[in-house]
Amino acid sequence: AAEEAIKAGIYPYFHELESKQDIEVIMEGKRRIMLGSNNYLGLTVHPEVMEAAIKAIEKYGTGCSGSRFLNGTLDLHNELEVELADFLGMEAVTTFSTGFQSNLGIISAIAGRHEYILCDRENHASIYDGCRLSYAETIRYRHNDMDDLESKLKKLPLEAGKLIITDGVFSMSGDIAKLPEIVELAEKYNAATMVDDAHGLGVIGEGGRGTASHFGLTDKVDIIMGTFSKSLASLGGFMAAKKYIVDYVRHNSRPFIFSASITPAGCAAALAALRIIKREPERVARLTHLSKYLREKLMENGIAVRESGYSTPIIPFYTYEHTRTLVAAKMLFEEGVYVNPVLPPATAPTECLLRTSLMATHTEEILDEAVEIIARVTKQLP
């Protein structure tokens, strides 16, 4: 399929970037408006974040050359964990080398034999792989469907270990998890809860504190997982929970123990980004404003935006068929707009999408320019 797409000139992957990850980028020699990055707060190019990374290299060198467990813990890792726990209002945090690895490491460590994981169908691939790595039985429920979740919970023994896992903000659709209902069901059926807030942190909740904060339910969620590769402008991931759960994972999680820690530059960048988010919550408000702005502009121009109850910065629109989606992505790229295609198995074969995502640093002018191009291109599609 990849070879065919290359031959047809509609292969959408591995475009080469020759500039910073910003609202406009140079990709394959030309300016493109970036509407496909997870750099939600635009902090990858913030001078303070860049400076912190450079200083960390000067002080610690380029790598940690070992696991957090052994020689790879810097004072910077500990500082990041303490400040992040404080920001989230959770007891403790531990960091992993990537967000993907966090899900592998958390789920495989805490869900064991004769236990059950209840997993939203649209959860991220790393959650699925974490489930496969654990010895617990995984049961999927229909996306954000609380009746289906309850019917599955009902069939399980009340005393058995159960963990409900959901994305906070779903990565492809921008939907927000129905956390109030999930927490209620968890209490009723004796289950624990875990939220993957990769796309919620820095995006929703008080000052960007994420999905649990958005619903005022921080004290009801057992585990919050997140990543530094999106709003926090770096690379790495984390788990936030009660201290005894974090301590358990730190001593039992193979992806945590047997893998090298976040690099000094990566760690310092995430810490600097976190401090900016704390100091300047207006960035999060600006992102929400722009999310509503872009959604409305796309709808005004007759573009088939996917419905979502709340304006998150993930705004996908339907292109329906597989090839039509690739053609649309290619045409947009040629006209100077970068967006990401969402294709099966991430979506149903007739519900393919192009996923736009925003940064707080986008301007209304650049979004207007992008919408004009998207409207023009989608009208030309067969």
Q: Which parts of this chain interact with ligand PMP (CB under 6 A)?
A: 98-100, 103, 124, 126, 167, 171, 196, 198-199, 227, 229, 237
Residues 20 and 40: their CA atoms lie apart, in Å, by: 14
Asked if 92 and 243 touch (Cβ cutoff 8 Å), the reply is yes
Smallest distance from ligand PMP to CB 228, Å: 7
Residue 103 or 134: the one with the smaller Cβ distance to ligand PMP is 103
Q: Which of 102, 108, 171, 308 is catalytic?
A: 171
Residue type (1 letter), 343: L
Residue 10 or 111: the one with the smaller Cβ distance to ligand PMP is 111
Q: Is 30 a catalytic residue?
A: no
Helix (H) or strand (E) holding 368: helix 364-380
Smallest distance from ligand PMP to CB 232, Å: 9
Smallest distance from ligand PMP to CB 194, Å: 11
Q: Between helices 99-110 and 125-133, what is the axis angle to 10°?
A: 30
Residues 327 and 319: their CA atoms lie apart, in Å, by: 10
Residue type (1 letter), 288: T
Q: Is 171 a catalytic residue?
A: yes
Q: Is 124 a catalytic residue?
A: no
Asked if 40 and 360 touch (Cβ cutoff 8 Å), the reply is yes
Residue 193 or 378: the one with the smaller Cβ distance to ligand PMP is 193
Output helix, strand, coil percentages for the chain, rounded to the nearest 5. 45, 20, 40
Residue 210 or 264: the one with the smaller Cβ distance to ligand PMP is 210
Residue 210 or 371: the one with the smaller Cβ distance to ligand PMP is 210
Matching residue, tokens 């986008």: 362
- Backbone angles phi and psi of 88, in degrees to 5: -80, -20
Q: Which of 152, 178, 214, 230 is catalytic?
A: 230
Smallest distance from ligand PMP to CB 175, Å: 12
Residue type (1 letter), 312: T
Smallest distance from ligand PMP to CB 6, Å: 24
Q: Which of 46, 124, 178, 199 is catalytic?
A: 199
Residue 197 or 222: the one with the smaller Cβ distance to ligand PMP is 197
Q: In what order do the strands lie in the sheet with 24-27?
A: 24-27, 30-34, 337-338
Smallest distance from ligand PMP to CB 153, Å: 23
Residues 370 and 373: their CA atoms lie apart, in Å, by: 5
Q: What Rg do the C-alpha atoms of the chain give, in angstroms?
A: 21
Cβ atoms < 10 Å from Cβ of 300: 10
Asked if 62 and 254 touch (Cβ cutoff 8 Å), the reply is no
* Residue positions annotated with a catalytic role: 171, 199, 230
